[in-house]
Amino acid sequence: MTKEIKTIIKEMKRQVGSTTATVQHEDPFHVLIATVLSQRTRDENTEKAAKSLFKKYNTPKKLAVAKTNDIEKLIKPSGFYKVKAQRIKKISKILLEKYGGKVPRDVESLLKLPGIGRKTANCVLVYAFGTPSIPVDTHVHRISNRLGLVQTKTPAQTEAELIRAVPKKYWLIINELMVKFGQRVCKPRKPRCDICKLKKMCRYYHNTLEHHRGF
């Protein structure tokens, strides 16, 4: 399995380029809020909402005292903006009251924040603090199953299986690689198998090929 994973990492890098997770740590608060905005929406919508929000309110202190309807207007492109605005405001207040305005660096504390699940917590660890973790979003869950690295039904199961299967030295880059790969090659609908360098070892591709041969 380790050899197979090395091949997957190598080929994904060739197709999507290098990753920034191991060398570039972003503002922890911005990472945390951006991942809240990313829930149940497209990446481009997340970027648009985050850019508008941070242009006006870029610290926990500013967001904690901001009017909820002002936050809603700024993050509307992300969808479910009413719920997200309330969560963002609550998170900001908690960070000020419990953590001195700083984002905690451990999963347990992060998971206690409103609306924060394992994916969000792991994203903060990887992209803000450079702590080896495996954030499992829809791209990672889909691609891991398509390639046959795991056979799981939920992101939580996928995370557990990947932690067992993937050497720790790859944990920091696997999310970013699979997200880019999922956006450009292994798309949710109409995956671009024609240009994929991993199709020879892909369970999804071979199952699809066998299905078409049967007709």
Q: Which of 119, 169, 187, 200 is catalytic?
A: 119
Q: Are residues 79 and 103 in the same domain?
A: yes
Q: Are residues 92 and 40 in the same domain?
A: yes
Helix axes 171-184, 2-16, angle to 10 degrees: 50
The confidence score (pLDDT) of residue 24 equals: 55
Q: Are residues 181 and 91 in the same domain?
A: no
By C-alpha distance, which of 195, 188, 186 is closest to 147? Answer: 186
Q: Which of 48, 89, 137, 199 is catalytic?
A: 137
Overall residue count recorded for the chain in this entry: 215
Regions of the chain with pLDDT less than 50:
23, 214-215
Domain that holds residue 123: 28-127
The confidence score (pLDDT) of residue 20 equals: 65
The confidence score (pLDDT) of residue 182 equals: 95
- The CATH number for 86's domain is 1.10.340.30
- CA separation for the pair 168, 112 (Å, rounded): 25
Q: Are residues 71 and 144 in the same domain?
A: no
Residue that terminates a domain, selected from 127, 146, 170: 127
Mean pLDDT of the chain: 92
Q: Are residues 145 and 123 in the same domain?
A: no
- pTM, rounded to two decimals: 0.88
Q: Are residues 42 and 101 in the same domain?
A: yes
Contact 58, 30 (CB under 8 A): yes
- The CATH number for 179's domain is 1.10.1670.10
Catalytic annotation present for 119: yes
- CA separation for the pair 193, 191 (Å, rounded): 6
Number of domains in the chain: 2
